Homo-oligomer: A and B are copies of this chain.
Amino acid sequence: MKKSPMDIQETWDSEKGEDNINPPILKLEKNQEDGRRNSDHNMSTTLLSKQSDLILPSKGLLQLFLTNLREVILGTKLVVLFPAIPLAILAHSYNLGRAWVFALSLLGLTPLAERVSFLTEQIAYYTGPTVGGLLNATCGNATELIIALLALRQKKIHVVKYSLLGSILSNLLLVLGSSLLCGGLANLKKEQRYDRKQADVSSSMLMLGLLCHMLPLMFAYGEKPSLYTLSVGATLQLSRACSIVMLLAYVAYLFFQLKTHRQLFEAQEEDEDDLGNEEKAVVGFWSAFTWLVGMTAIIALLSEYVVGTIEAASDSWGISVNFISIILLPIVGNAAEHAGSIIFAFKNKLDISLGVAMGSATQISMFVVPLCVIVAWIMHIPMDLDFSLLETGCLAFAILVTAFTLQDGTSHYMKGVALLLCYVTMGACFFVLRNPITNKTSDSLGVK
């Protein structure tokens, strides 16, 4: 569903009081010669009446701010989790238990992650589909990216690796699995079809990413122990080369998705339109931008807390850091996508659910992970792509099982059950993998 010029017009109108600088690009392309004011001429009366429904009689700055606040803050059902943000900051400044800071920050991140993608979509309405797609492609997993970069700054390489790995696993198995399960149960009698081409593109991207993780791993295992020290440098070089390849692949993927084969991903676009509330573009460009910056700052703050207190939380809860990074962090980070994906599966719009889950996994695997390696390179931190054996094995298995599941273009709930139970099994595996082993991995990963 393309956005119609009318909708954009409407939003633009509601924006008029604030600033008139950035007219929507789509509009601009069509009426390049018209003055900005004149382009309103085709506004119909229905649109006018619709606008009067909004509670915007006087367009004062404060009023606008309040409306925006209402749209941005109250626009999500996760609003109940917002109080966790000030609580986390309070808990941090009054030196309450570090596990509490961790838990509250994690809760606070959930609605923020959802709102950031909401704001990105809002901005995308003004910038046109291509730039919007690019924005979504880079900021869609902003929370994961910020957490990873902050963990990198604190040289907790294992947290970086495991949280990103966990995010891929959670998207592929948990989000996709529960969507297929719910969709299958809700549409038992109907046929559930989707276009497998889109999923196939993501699968092949994920396979490429998997290769880039497996080669450094096999480097370490294929060498004789005496040569192991020699291979560390080579592993690092290989990882950096692989990261560049992955980024190139991601650029090609974006080109494919946004330019040449957009029709394959059309359904996904539609999804984003629907996700962004009923009205299109409910907040203006600059206010959305300001909100985005502000939220990013809060996310950074909370991520800092999360990364700083993860070991303390692990100790006080008796759960390994591995489990927290691989299972808990991604569930929180993906909560909003998860909910959206399930809702669309209920409506038997599996294309959208697939787009959300597979797209997000591809983005993390092919963009966030190599970006972290490159940033680490710039910061002279020896982060490589060698996740350890168990983690890489789980990744490989998740990708394989998802690719197989999506082979024929139909779905039923049993597919969801299989994926979900795979996730449960992996969760159980990381749960029983207790501290002695955790120390080992954090040693080997942190030091080398």
- Any B CB within 8 A of the CB of A224: yes
A412 and B222 contacting across the interface, CB-CB below 8 Å: no
B205 and A418 contacting across the interface, CB-CB below 8 Å: yes
Cα separation A428 to B212 with both chains bound (whole Å): 10
B432 and A238 contacting across the interface, CB-CB below 8 Å: yes
Query: Which residues of chain A in 217-244 are interfacial with respect to chain B, using CB atoms and an 8 Å cutoff?
Result: 218-219, 221-224, 227, 230-231, 234, 237-238, 241-242
A241 and B428 contacting across the interface, CB-CB below 8 Å: yes
B418 and A208 contacting across the interface, CB-CB below 8 Å: yes
A211 and B397 contacting across the interface, CB-CB below 8 Å: yes
A425 and B223 contacting across the interface, CB-CB below 8 Å: no
- Any B CB within 8 A of the CB of A193: no
Which residue on B lies nearest to A441, using beta carbons? B222
Taking a contact as CB atoms closer than 8 A, the residue among B208, B394, B432 that contacts A425 in the complex is: B208
Complex A-B, nearest 4 residue pairs according to Cβ-Cβ distance, in ascending order: A222-B389, A204-B418, A241-B428, A215-B429
Interface secondary structure of A, over-half rule: helix
A401 and B207 contacting across the interface, CB-CB below 8 Å: yes
A245 CB to nearest B CB, Å: 5
- Any B CB within 8 A of the CB of A440: yes
B256 and A211 contacting across the interface, CB-CB below 8 Å: no
Which residue on B lies nearest to A403, using beta carbons? B404
A404 and B203 contacting across the interface, CB-CB below 8 Å: yes
Taking a contact as CB atoms closer than 8 A, the residue among B196, B222, B388 that contacts A388 in the complex is: B222
Given the known interface contacts A224-B440, A404-B203, A421-B208, the answer about A253 and B393 at a Cβ–Cβ threshold of 8 Å is no
A425 and B212 contacting across the interface, CB-CB below 8 Å: yes
A215 and B440 contacting across the interface, CB-CB below 8 Å: no
A-B contact pairs, 19 of them (CB 8 A): A201-B414, A204-B404, A207-B397, A207-B400, A207-B401, A207-B404, A207-B418, A208-B425, A211-B397, A211-B425, A215-B390, A215-B394, A215-B425, A238-B432, A242-B428, A249-B421, A252-B417, A261-B414, A403-B404
**Which of A215, A241, A248 is packed against the most chain B CB atoms within 10 Å?**
A215
Since A221-B389, A403-B404 are in contact, a sample of 17 more A-B pairs with Cβ atoms closer than 8 Å, ordered by chain A residue number, is: A203-B404, A204-B401, A204-B405, A204-B414, A211-B426, A215-B394, A218-B390, A222-B388, A227-B437, A230-B437, A231-B437, A237-B432, A241-B425, A241-B432, A245-B421, A249-B421, A252-B417
- Any B CB within 8 A of the CB of A197: yes
Residue numbers of A with Cβ under 8 A of B are 188, 196-197, 200-201, 203-205, 207-208, 210-212, 214-215, 218-219, 221-224, 227, 230-231, 234, 237-238, 241-242, 245, 248-249, 252-253, 256, 260-261, 388-390, 393-394, 397, 400-401, 403-405, 407-408, 410, 412-415, 417-418, 421-422, 424-426, 428-429, 432-434, 436-437, 440
B410 and A407 contacting across the interface, CB-CB below 8 Å: no
Cα separation A205 to B421 with both chains bound (whole Å): 10
Given the known interface contacts A215-B390, A224-B440, the answer about A200 and B408 at a Cβ–Cβ threshold of 8 Å is yes
| A389 CB contacts on chain B under 8 angstroms | 218, 221-222
| A231 CB contacts on chain B under 8 angstroms | 437
Cα separation A401 to B404 with both chains bound (whole Å): 12
A384 CB to nearest B CB, Å: 12
| A432 CB contacts on chain B under 8 angstroms | 234, 237-238, 241
Which residue on B lies nearest to A410, using beta carbons? B197
A234 and B426 contacting across the interface, CB-CB below 8 Å: no
| A260 CB contacts on chain B under 8 angstroms | 188, 413
| A242 CB contacts on chain B under 8 angstroms | 425, 428
| A196 CB contacts on chain B under 8 angstroms | 408
B256 and A412 contacting across the interface, CB-CB below 8 Å: yes
| A241 CB contacts on chain B under 8 angstroms | 425, 428, 432
